[in-house]
Amino acid sequence: MKYEHYFKHCIETKSSFLCTGIDPDPERLPDGFSRDVQGIYEFVHEIIQITADLTPAYKFNLAFFELWGWKGLRILEKLLSEVPKNILLLADAKRGDIGNSSKFYARALLEELPFHAATVSPYLGSDSIRPFIEDENKGAFVLCVTSNASGRELQEHGGEKPLYVKTAEIVQELNGKKNLGLVMGATKPEQLLDIRKQFPELPFLIPGVGSQGGGADTALAVCRENGFGLINVSRGILYPSEGTFPDNVRKLTENYNHLFSNKDN
């Protein structure tokens, strides 16, 4: 199935724009899980078991697996194989290189691993993006407006046409196969609304809601405009401040699934 169709199918199947971020910090695991690679595997395995029916997408942050070297990559492969169908698998890898390096990064994430899409840095230009979108069944989200505060140092540089607008223009030009989107942080609602207005057809991956303080209302509004986006929640689901695991995680996921419904209530 083409990437665009599979993306929309996953959202429609779960009736939500929720993306559950998988950031397994060993220091924050609930009681009963060891603070090692086996504990990470068991924790994420349990997360998938209790949330798979509620989330249309998982975003795996590769840093939390690469931390463990080959053992981390081994459990990542195993966990990905355990995810049910009708769930979009995103590699939060933020790759950004050119030539064979970019080509091999794309092959590693989208061929050797079963990810449907990856996050990509555009700083090296379109050459760093193209290898991830050659296959119309795979895709990428390009960093445009990130949720961290210091992202403004580069992304808003450039006067009347800041760098983030130029990034969106490049993505629009490259999106002939409808398998490209933008990472747009919810912590910067003015830019989020501005880019949605200028590029109404591009899908957004929106981090920053929850622990980082981004507003859910604006994120939901821009996803509903074209029915084609994801709102990521990582720590806000994985590490509840109240309740007992796994019931508290299940409850939070239910709440976010409903909050980010793709249907007007």
Residue 217 makes CB contacts below 8 A (sequence gap 6+) with: none
**Residues recognised as catalytic:** 94
Per-residue tokens: 26: 């060993």
∠ CA 119-99-58, nearest 5°, is 15
Residue 222 makes CB contacts below 8 A (sequence gap 6+) with: 184, 192, 193, 196, 204, 206, 229
Helices (H) then strands (E): counts for the chain: 11, 8
d(CA 230, CA 7): 10
Count CB atoms within 10 A of the CB of residue 157.
10
The answer to whether 59 and 69 have CB atoms below 8 angstroms apart is no
Q: Which helix (H) or strand (E) holds 219?
A: helix 216-226
